[in-house]
Amino acid sequence: MSIEFQPLRTSDSDDYGEDEELHHEFGEIYDHGDDIFEVLETTHSTKGNIRNGIRRNYKYFCLLGVVMVIWAAIHIMIPLLKASKIKIALCENCLSAPTTLARDLPYLIYGTAWKESQTSELVKSAILNGYRFIDTANQPKHYNEEGSGDGWTEAVRELNLTRSEIYIQTKFSQNQDERSAPYNVSAPVSERVRDSVKSSLQHLKTNYLDALILHSPYSKIETTMEAWKAMESFVDDGKVLQLGISNCYKLETLSDLYDRSRIKPTILQNHLRTTEFDPKLLKFTRDHKMQYQAFWTLTANSNHLQKNEIKDFASAKGLSPQLYMYAFLLSIGITPLDGSKSHQIEDVDFIKRLQNKELVAFENEDEINLMANALEMKLI
Higher pLDDT, 37 or 175: 175
Higher pLDDT, 38 or 237: 237
CB atoms within 10 A of CB 42: 9
pLDDT (0 to 100) of residue 4: 40
Amino acid at 157: R
CATH number of 90-374: 3.20.20.100
Under DSSP, is residue 354 helix (H, G, I), strand (E, B) or coil? helix
pLDDT digits (tens, 9 = 90+) for 27-85: 333 334 444 334 444 444 555 555 565 566 666 666 777 767 666 655 554 444 444 46
Considering only 21-25, 142-146, 158-162, 235-239, which range has the smallest mean pLDDT?
Answer: 21-25
pLDDT (0 to 100) of residue 260: 98
Whether the CB-CB separation of 171 and 119 falls below 8 Å is answered with no
DSSP state letters, 212-245 = EEESS--SSHHHHHHHHHHHHHHHHTTSBS-EEE
pLDDT (0 to 100) of residue 12: 32
- Which of 262, 265, 261, 231 has its CA nearest to residue 246? 265
pLDDT (0 to 100) of residue 1: 45
Distance between terminal CA atoms of the chain? Answer: 58
DSSP state letters, 241-264 = S-EEEES---HHHHHHHHHH-SS-
pLDDT (0 to 100) of residue 75: 55
Whether the CB-CB separation of 339 and 110 falls below 8 Å is answered with yes
Q: What is the mean pLDDT of residues 194-210?
A: 98
pLDDT (0 to 100) of residue 90: 80
pLDDT (0 to 100) of residue 13: 31
pLDDT (0 to 100) of residue 43: 46
Higher pLDDT, 71 or 95: 95
Q: pTM here?
A: 0.78
pLDDT, the chain, mean = 86
Considering only 41-45, 148-152, 266-270, which range has the smallest mean pLDDT?
Answer: 41-45
Q: Where in the chain is the domain with CATH 3.20.20.100?
A: 90-374
pLDDT digits (tens, 9 = 90+) for 289-336: 999 999 999 999 999 999 999 999 999 999 999 999 999 999 999 999
- Does pLDDT of 127 surpass 70? yes
- Does pLDDT of 134 surpass 60? yes
CA 11 to chain centre: 40
pLDDT (0 to 100) of residue 88: 84
pLDDT (0 to 100) of residue 10: 32
pLDDT (0 to 100) of residue 8: 32
Q: What is the mean pLDDT of residues 325-349?
A: 97
